[in-house]
Amino acid sequence: MDVKTCAASDIAGQWERIDWNKADRYVKNLQMRIVKAFQEGKKNKVKSLQHLLTTSFYAKALAVKRVTENQGKKTAGVDGEIWTTPKDRYQAIERLQRRGYNPMPLKRVYIPKKNGKKRPLSIPTMMDRAMQTLFKFALEPIAETTADPNSYGFRAKRCTQDAIEQCFTSLNKGKSPKWVLEGDIKGCFDNISHEWILEHIPMDKEILQKWLKCGYIETKKLFPTGFGSPQGSPISPTISNMVLDGLEKAIKDKYHKRTVNGKAFFPKVNFVRYADDFIVTGESREILESGVKPIIIEFLAERGLELSEEKTLITHINDGFDFLGCNVRMYGNKLLTKPSKKNFEAIVSKIRDVIKSNQSAKQDFLIRTLNPIIRGWVNYQKYNVSAQAFEKLDYEIWECLWQWCKRRHPKKSRKWIAKKYFHTIGNRTWTFSVPTDGKMENGEDYYIRLIYATDTDIRRFTKIKADANPFDENWQLYFEERADKQMRNEIKGRTIINRLYKAQQGCCSHCGDKITLETDFRIHQVGNGKNMTKSLVHPECHQELHALEKCEMLALERGLIEA
């Protein structure tokens, strides 16, 4: 049934009946058409396709879905409104209209930074977030087409590991440059020139100006926003990236491969950027100080920005530098990327705080709280030389947990405490775990256990190709093969998931679309005991299947259908 022809009285049902796979395909198709028109220089066609996208039902529905399923879905703006029910969400689709739209002021809050200072965060209303996400759908294809090849922050299909791997590639050879300029832009989001944005960002200027000039509310007072693209807005990262795009080209225009006296000359000046943090490599300190740095300063000045003198450093690779939570340093003739000291200390501190704040919690609750924290950090660092860091993390966690156990039972012996809280599972004799009522397939007890960092394999990350564009139809096969390879590497060693993935040929058993790390997956179980069947499905499909099963159970109880 077409969602647009459903009865008006069943608003909540209309939201549930939206075909999200069809919506994704519709929006992706329009985005690819925008890229093709932009590459062909058809500016009027680009504008008409952007208008078609921002007025389409499916794009509006996806925009509402994005802002009601992310981490900020329960955080309201100045109007106090959040969309929690299917009825709220479907009605929001109908409210996403350009005509008569006026954004409300932002709600200003402050979050602590590592250096003890506070970063301003501006929170738009749900309506403004949805509108910005909608227009981001139309702007992002152009942003990807014009982006610097070695820019990796806040871009589709790119991540921090890509940036770290590019650093390694630029510095790991014997003839590679030995000096690195670590750049940091002072208050990047907060100081961008509005005039530059309005002149150069290819989107609806009237809407864009309203967002830039909407102001913010702090201590119940309204303050103007004369410059900057405030952090907290969905479209701000894309705009900020477009503001900084061109910096790599400005540097390469001066320092590029050329022929001198019949010989090829390589300047060894490489550029890697993640959001507003970037590095530039060079053969000498002089090249970076007197050659590259003035280019960067001039480029930023045009956009109302400036380098942070406090954080902009020039370092020799033998001394190493920290970038995105990793330390990149030459050890003898070998370049290694390891977890940085600050990054390691931060995860240990976080885990200690969790353990100390749960002194009276049940063991299984503590395990379920710690596992996602440990897994998240380990999965981030598993592409670096992290074996020693993983061993040290396991030891630090064990020490914290042992103190937690002793604090709970001050009168019990160490042997009693060890027997109660630690069990032998596989080859591990000291596994912090708790038995459950369930049994494994071989009849042994099933334990809820704390994961070990050292159980995760260290592997090399395959960097994305610099020119790859996820909105260009010519790159679609590359991204499909890359997603499949990443998925297979991730589930390697996870027997049940690996078997199901191969049996289903990498597709969801419910909707038939591809399962990737980006889409995520769930194991859906049907039946009990020997009659149980398992399959891999998307998280959305998993919810839909459980909803259908619940409806069938209710129908059986009421005698509406036969078993």
What's residue 520's pLDDT? 82
Q: Is the pLDDT of residue 111 over 70?
A: yes
Rg of the chain, C-alpha, whole Å: 27
Q: Is the pLDDT of residue 149 over 90?
A: yes
- DSSP state string for 468-494: --TT-GGGHHHHHHHHHHHHHHHHTT-
Span 55-79, mean pLDDT? 92
Query: Which has more pLDDT, 83 or 267?
Result: 83
Query: Which has more pLDDT, 435 or 117?
Result: 435
Question: What distance in Å separates the CA atoms of residue 506 and residue 514, rounded to the nearest whole number?
Answer: 6
Q: Is the pLDDT of residue 528 over 70?
A: no
Confidence of residue 8 (pLDDT cuts 50, 70, 90): very low
3-class DSSP state for residue 539? helix
Confidence of residue 11 (pLDDT cuts 50, 70, 90): confident
What's residue 219's pLDDT? 86
CA 1 from chain centre, in angstroms, equals 34
- Closest by Cα among 351, 534, 362 to 448: 362
Q: Is the pLDDT of residue 150 over 60?
A: yes
Span 230-251, mean pLDDT? 93
Confidence of residue 557 (pLDDT cuts 50, 70, 90): low
Task: Tell me the average pLDDT of the chain.
Answer: 89
Confidence of residue 189 (pLDDT cuts 50, 70, 90): confident
Q: Do the beta carbons of residue 358 and residue 197 sit within 8 Å?
A: no
CA dihedral 533, 539, 542, 543 (to 10 degrees): 160
Query: Which has more pLDDT, 48 or 188?
Result: 48
DSSP state of 422: E
Span 480-498, mean pLDDT? 85
Q: Is the pLDDT of residue 133 over 70?
A: yes
pLDDT in tens, 155-172: 999 999 999 999 999 999
Of 16-20, 113-117, 379-383, give the lowest mean pLDDT range.
Answer: 113-117
What's residue 5's pLDDT? 43
Q: Do the beta carbons of residue 356 and residue 401 sit within 8 Å?
A: no
Question: What distance in Å separates the CA atoms of residue 273 and residue 247, rounded to the nearest whole number?
Answer: 10
For each of the domains in the chain, give its residue range(s) and CATH number, in order of start.
5-145 (no CATH), 147-192+227-339 (3.30.70.270), 341-455 (no CATH), 473-558 (no CATH)
Read off the amino acid at residue 104: M
Q: Is the pLDDT of residue 229 over 90?
A: no
What's residue 325's pLDDT? 94
Tokens for 151? 């820019």
Find the distance separating the first CA and the last CA of the chain, reported in whole Å.
Answer: 27
What's residue 291's pLDDT? 93
Confidence of residue 231 (pLDDT cuts 50, 70, 90): confident
- Does the predicted model carry a pTM greater than 0.85? yes
pLDDT in tens, 341-355: 999 999 999 999 999
Positive or negative, the CA dihedral 218, 224, 230, 234 is: positive
What's residue 37's pLDDT? 97
| Cross-strand pairs, 265 | 258
Confidence of residue 450 (pLDDT cuts 50, 70, 90): very high
Query: Which has more pLDDT, 274 or 428?
Result: 274
Query: Which has more pLDDT, 305 or 113?
Result: 305
Residue 77 neighbours by CB under 8 Å, 6+ apart: 104, 106, 107, 123, 124, 125, 126, 128, 129
Pairing mode, strands 326-331 and 321-323: antiparallel
Question: What distance in Å separates the CA atoms of residue 206 and residue 97, rounded to the nearest whole number?
Answer: 14
Q: Is the pLDDT of residue 551 over 80?
A: no
Q: Is the pLDDT of residue 264 over 70?
A: no
Tokens for 159? 């991540």
Question: What distance in Å separates the CA atoms of residue 277 and residue 271, rounded to the nearest whole number?
Answer: 11
Query: If 0-12 CB within 10 Å is exposed, 13-18 middle and 19+ buried, where does residue 31 land?
Result: buried
Count how many residues are written for the chain: 563
Question: What distance in Å separates the CA atoms of residue 122 and residue 463, rounded to the nearest whole number?
Answer: 33
The Cα-based distances of 392 to 29, 348, 389 in angstroms read: 48, 10, 5
3-class DSSP state for residue 27? helix
Question: What distance in Å separates the CA atoms of residue 385 and residue 331, rounded to the nearest whole number?
Answer: 12
The Cα-based distances of 551 to 6, 272, 539 in angstroms read: 20, 53, 19
Query: If 0-12 CB within 10 Å is exposed, 13-18 middle and 19+ buried, where does residue 410 land?
Result: exposed
